Amino acid sequence: MSRLLVPALVTALAVGTVLGAAAPSASDDVSRVARAGQWQLGALRLPQAWRTSKGAGVVVAVLDTGVNARHPDLAGAVIQGPDLTGVDASPHRWGRHGTAMASLIAGRGHRDEQEGGVLGVAPRAKVLSVRVTLDNGDPQRVKLRSGGRNALARGIRYAADHGAGVISMSLGGGSGAWEGSAPEEEAVQYAISRGAVLVASSGNDGASANRKNFPAAYPGVIAVGAVNRRLTVAGFSNRQDYVSVVAPGTKIVTADERGSYVVGDGTSSAAALVAGVAALVRSAYPSLSPYHVRQAIELGTRKRPADGHSPAYGHGVVDAVRTLRAAARLDVPPSGEAAPERYFCQASPSSRGPVVAGMVVLVAAMSARVLVTQRRRRRRGVT
């Protein structure tokens, strides 16, 4: 039996508030309303982070339901990859969830990012669309053919082989398959070995079954939960030991596949935003390994749990500015290479004092020892 993947946010999007009528392009008024509703831009401190990086040169693979590259906020941002579902695309139901996630990652807004529209976390990055599942409500879901078997695993490998520095997976196990699969786990490890950073939504049934969700639970994947405007964990966000971090995931404005906008809740949005933050890091510090990118994201959080980690918050709420600073500290040169000057300037004034004092004491002790030795030798007649 083939495995069906259920996008973690698509139900919320399907019942979300649509901003503007379906049309080839959204009006300027509607696009300005959409931009005004993007509260996550401030919560993640993106305007400050963009002084360092906007994601240029990074490809983020969006493994989802497909992306509508004709949306005005995604013009020039989308690379169309394969459809691995084995199901013909319905002209009326295609790419709703994937378009939404792509806009959160690399949306360019209107008029060179300045006026209205959805602005993604990494507006200079590219998204590689790989269709691995269908939107909720798509009648084709019941007609999935064998061609869709292991679509996610195949999609991960395709993305890793086609230059994706980050792989975003805002989806989870469906049809009762919540235990994961060997092909998917192997694909995850393959992608990491190729240098890709993998991000996934933690799941949306935290208020009920709170099931372990894959691909988020695979080792090496950055699993993301959702918080509201108060930076409090949303009730629907899964609470599991595998949760890495949390990010905005309620009342999130996204691009709609019909050319307008929609508002929804879910850990899908949170995961897409963190994938964008990972793209900022990959652009600014391309030599960092997937492990160090993840470490920077976790070290750069705020509202951190008292014991360092909790099933609800993970390591805390993602902060793009703090993440980039942590990445700068982790971006050390390989052994044997000369370190850039900035690596000698990272110690704080409070840490330099003890180090200097210790060196002075050490030099004084060595000098005293030399003097004592010389005196002893003179007494014995040794020169």
- Just list the catalytic residues: 64, 97, 268
Single pTM value for the model: 0.81
What kind and span of H or E run contains 200? strand 197-201
- CA-wise closest residue to 347 among 356, 358, 334: 356
Tokens of 298: 């976790």
User: How many other C-beta atoms are found inside a 10 Å radius of the C-beta of residue 17?
Assistant: 11
What kind and span of H or E run contains 254? strand 252-255
Burial of residue 162 (CB within 10 Å: 0-12, 13-18, 19+) is middle
Q: Which CATH architecture best describes the domain 5-330?
A: 3-Layer(aba) Sandwich (3.40)
Interval 102-111: pLDDT, tens: 999 999 987 6
- CA-wise closest residue to 279 among 96, 255, 288: 288
Interval 2-55: pLDDT, tens: 333 444 443 333 334 445 433 444 467 787 888 888 999 999 999 999 999 999
Task: Encode 248-274: b = buried (16+ Cβ within 10 Å), e = exposed.
Answer: bbbbbbbbbbbbbbbbbbbbbbbbbbb
pLDDT per residue, tens digit, the chain (383 aa), is 333 344 444 333 333 444 543 344 446 778 788 888 899 999 999 999 999 999 999 999 999 999 999 999 999 999 999 999 988 766 556 799 999 999 999 999 876 666 788 999 999 999 999 999 998 877 776 665 555 679 999 999 999 999 999 999 999 854 435 678 999 999 999 999 999 999 999 999 999 999 999 999 999 999 999 999 999 999 999 999 999 999 999 999 999 988 789 999 999 999 999 999 999 999 999 999 999 999 999 999 999 999 999 999 999 999 999 999 999 999 987 654 543 433 323 333 333 344 344 444 444 544 444 444 444 444 444 33
Residue ranges per structural domain of the chain:
5-330, 347-379
